[in-house]
Each structure stands twice: as structure tokens, then as C-alpha cells.
Chains A and B, each alone.
Chain A
Amino acid sequence: MIRLPLVLLFSAALFSIGVYGVLARRNAVMVLMAIELMLNAVNVNLVGFSQLWRDLAGQVFALFVIAVAAAEVGIGLAIVLLIYRNRETIDLSEVSLLKW
């Protein structure tokens, strides 16, 4: 039995790594992966709290998050792919027709 604080710490670390990745990475695919890390941190949290409250709703919610994350990655990759075909780059600092 893993104790809840450990689960929460792990999840917070995962989330923070994800945030760092989104902010620091310049490669769009890497940013996508960092976002995935953040979503999985949420899943860890949900499952941990579901244990705490002895309530299955949290785990079902985690399933929803997984399903939606898959759809999100699909669309994200499609957009990145289209940009790559147009520009031959996925470096975010080079994709800047619109000013930030």
C-alpha cells in the first residue's frame, strides 16, 4: 500500500516537469509530450484520491482523461505535421508569422 502523500508528491513532480517542458522546449513535439506528462500527473492524482475516498468516480474520470488525451494528441500531431509540410520546421521560435 503506497501512502497518499507519496502519490501526491509524485504527481506534483510529474506535473511540474511537464510545465517546465512546455515552457522551456522549442520543439512542438516535445511540448506535446510535456503536456501529456501533465495530463498523466492528473491521472495519478485522481487514482490516489479515489483510494483515499474509497470512491470509484475518480478512476472513471481518469479513463475519460486518457481517452480525451489520445484525441488531443492526434489533433496536435496533425497540426504539427501540416506545419512541417509547409515550413520544414517545427521549431516554435521559427513559426512566427503572427507576432506573439
Chain B
Amino acid sequence: METYYQSYGVVLAVLIAGVALVAVAFGAAALLAPRRPLPAKLATYECGMDPVGEGWSQTQIRYYIFGFLFVIFDVESVFLFPWARVFEGLGMTAVVEMAIFIGILALGLVYAWRKGVLRWV
């Protein structure tokens, strides 16, 4: 029975250590840090020029779709690398499978194209 509870003990000890670490860090900060709230502290930059307008309005939203499509296709290509490493040993099956994978991705691109998101407006 002792060995049975031992692993629970390990989990519990790690949990307590973790909670204690955060509690001590935040507790010490709360106790030691002086607190003088000023409106200036909430500004984006405490010194220098005051920011004008919203940070959000500066990004063109039309970049978003392109960026998104790029990220998706870029990340999907990660599956090509392990495939390229081993496909010699797997023969035709691997080639066909990868063709299907890329085919489905291409269909996704067709969908995006027909939806008109590839046009620069």
C-alpha cells in the first residue's frame, strides 16, 4: 500500500511546490512593492510622445486573409518533410497518399479563390 500512495505523494509534492512558488512570488511582490497608481502609468509609453489613435486601425485588414492562407499552407508543408525522407521505402502507396493530401489542399485553395479572397481589393 505504501508504494501505491508514493506516486500520489510525488504528484502532491510537485503541486504544492508549484503553488508555493507562485504564491511566494506574487505575495512578496504584493507586500514589498510600493503602490502609487497614476494615470500616466496606464499609457502605452510612460515617456515620449502620446500615442495618437487606436493601435488597431493601423493594420490593413486585407493582409489578414493572405497571411492566414500563407500560414495554413506553410504549416501543412511540414508533413512533406518526413514523407520525403521515407517515401522511397514505401513505394507507390506513399506517392498516391501524398497526391491525395496535396489534392485536398489544392481544393481548399480553389475554394478560397472562388470565394474571391485572393483578389487584392
Give yes or no for direct A-B contact (beta carbon below 8 Å): yes
Name B's interface SS. Answer: helix
Given contacts A67-B76, A70-B75, contact A60 B82 (CB under 8 A): yes
Interface residues on B, range: 10 to 19
CA distance A63 to B85 in the complex (A): 15
User: Interface of A with B (CB < 8 Å)?
Assistant: 12, 16, 60, 63, 66-67, 70-71, 73-74, 77-78, 81, 84
In the assembled complex, the CB of A25 is this many whole angstroms from the nearest CB of chain B, namely 16
Contacts of A12 in B (CB 8 A): 18
- B interface residues (Cβ-Cβ under 8 A, vs A): 18, 22, 56, 61, 64, 68, 71-72, 74-76, 78-79, 82
Expressed in whole angstroms, the minimum distance between the Cβ of A37 and any Cβ of chain B is: 16
How many pairs of A and B residues are in contact by the CB < 8 Å rule? 28
Looking at the assembled complex, report how far the CB atom of B110 sits from the nearest CB atom of chain A, in whole angstroms.
18
**Residue contact A74 to B79, C-beta cutoff 8 Å:** no
Residues of A within 8 A of B68 (CB): 74, 77-78
Task: For B64, give its contact among A16, A67, A81 (CB under 8 Å).
Answer: A81
Known: A60-B82, A63-B79. A70 touches B71 (CB 8 A): yes
Name the CB-closest residue of B to A64.
B79
Q: Which residue of chain B has its CB nearest to the CB of A20?
A: B22
Q: Is the CB of A71 within 8 A of B78?
A: no
The answer to whether B82 and A84 touch across the interface, beta carbons within 8 angstroms, is no
